[in-house]
Amino acid sequence: MIPYIANTEQEVEKMLARIGVASIDDLFADIRNRHRPKSFRFPAGLSEFEVISTLRAAASRNKSGLISFLGGGYYDHYVPAAVNAVISRGEFYTAYTPYQPEVAQGTLQALYEFQSSICALTGMEAANASLYDGGTALYEAAMMAVRINGRSKIVMDGGVSPIYRKILRTYTTNLNYEFAETPVTHGHSDRDEIIRQLDKDTAAIILQNPNFFGAMDDHADIVTRAHELGVLVIESVYPIALGLMKTPGEMGADIVTGEGQSLGLPLNFGGPYLGFMATRKKYIRKMPGRIVGETVDENGKRCFVNTLQAREQHIRREKATSNICTNVSLCALRALVFMSLMGKQGFKELSTLNFEKAEYTRQRLESIDGVEVKRSAPTFNEFTILLPLAADCVVERMIDKGFAAGFPLGRYYPGMEDYMIVAVTEKRTRREIDAYVTALETTLNELSKETAACS
């Protein structure tokens, strides 16, 4: 073990001899030259004040403060100050795993209330105490469906997030499962194609609502047909939209998952985020992750415990319920505080704000020559537009005008290089939306005059 950084050639030679390596090159022989460190000569140490000043100066060169119209599964929602205030309390700095309920009642009750809130939000009967993020939660739901009916085929609707579909395929690379996908559509799911794909080998159909392109759908008819064939229905949802939409439970879905970032978690450069999962009570023993239940102690007092499953069932290789044997409790707590602050009526009002501001933005964008807003289905706070130029080029130019303009689709969908998803949350003001539309129109005019700009 090297106890410190060497500053002289003699020290380097001594350390190499100690570990039985002839030279630095031999030490890094397994690393390609272009990936090797250029030098081990580090600058002199700095004081804490100097380090902070240096890092702040470097950070100031980042283009921050962009007005965000980005979506694609992660959204710029407002996080009430009370969320940070509550989760910063010392009472929540408890042990990592609450397996000793006698000393973890606060944590266990918070997780129980989180589960109850997710059930109320989704219209389902049981929920676990969170998973890592929306993508891995969807993978866990697919594997749960396989365990329930013993089938090996998964059908994925083309409107499911391409990021999630990539996660599913990556996690199952070495597993013997068959995946089928329906064609991509900017509107409602293709019923005929979905039904054609379903057969006796199909474990589940995976749907997303609203889908990746923002379209809202009532999947009740798909659920009915799937159940006739013994196929389970998994629905990935955007939780804020559930303040207005019919719940997955009302549509008859069997398993519901989603990304909980919009429930009081900041974007924070990509995480940590939160996955949630809910299901029918009859499938609860097949559900992965931690489950907290309510009971009474020997004195008849209400209390909370981990229930229905032991950690040991998560560490049995191919026989495991899942290899996710923990959760993200602090993120789940943030979501619980957020949902508690909103309440039923507040959640509806929040959803309505998102919907109405997005509708206003759609109307304004339609006034720009050459911009087509896709209106093949109702949308929530996110929608697809077709631009007269490559979307990634437009997005890059819009950064200089202070906007994160949207999500270019070409990187995930060949042939859709001119398409872009635009998302509008409750944080966007009328002034910001109007300025965005003006900046986009100006950008398109500028780029149209620069023949090589987007080539």
Q: What is the pLDDT of residues 383-442, one digit of tens each?
A: 999 999 999 999 999 999 999 999 999 999 999 999 999 999 999 999 999 999 999 999
Q: Is 120 exposed, middle or buried (0-12, 13-18, 19+ CB in 10 A)?
A: middle
3, pLDDT greater than 60: no
Whether 235 contacts 276, CB under 8 Å: no
The residue among 376 and 250 whose pLDDT is bigger is 250
Whether 447 contacts 389, CB under 8 Å: yes
CA distances from 405 to 133, 381, 384, 441 (A): 25, 14, 12, 12
Whether 357 contacts 428, CB under 8 Å: yes
For residue 60, name the pLDDT band (cuts at 50, 70, 90): confident
Q: Could you tell me the domains of the chain?
A: 9-59 (no CATH), 67-75+347-447 (3.90.1150.10), 81-338 (3.40.640.10)
Q: How many CB atoms lie within 10 A of CB 200?
A: 9
Helix axes 329-365, 105-122, angle to 10 degrees: 30
95, pLDDT greater than 80: no
Whether 424 contacts 361, CB under 8 Å: yes
Residues 6+ apart with CB under 8 A from 290: 111, 128, 129, 130, 306, 325, 326, 327
| Beta pairing, strands 382-386 & 372-373 | antiparallel
pLDDT score of 97: 65
pLDDT score of 34: 84
6, pLDDT greater than 90: no
Among 5-14, 284-293, 323-332, 348-357, the range with the most confident prediction by mean pLDDT is 348-357
Helix axes 430-449, 329-365, angle to 10 degrees: 60
| Beta pairing, strands 302-306 & 292-296 | antiparallel
Please give the average per-residue pLDDT across 101-120, as a whole number.
Answer: 92
**Tokens coding 199:** 């057969």
Please give the average per-residue pLDDT across 147-157, as a whole number.
Answer: 95
7, pLDDT greater than 60: no
Q: Report whether the peptide linkage leading into residue 272 is cis, meaning its omega lies within 30 degrees of zero.
A: yes
Compute the half-sphere exposure of residue 129: CA atoms within 13 Å on the CB side of its CA.
27
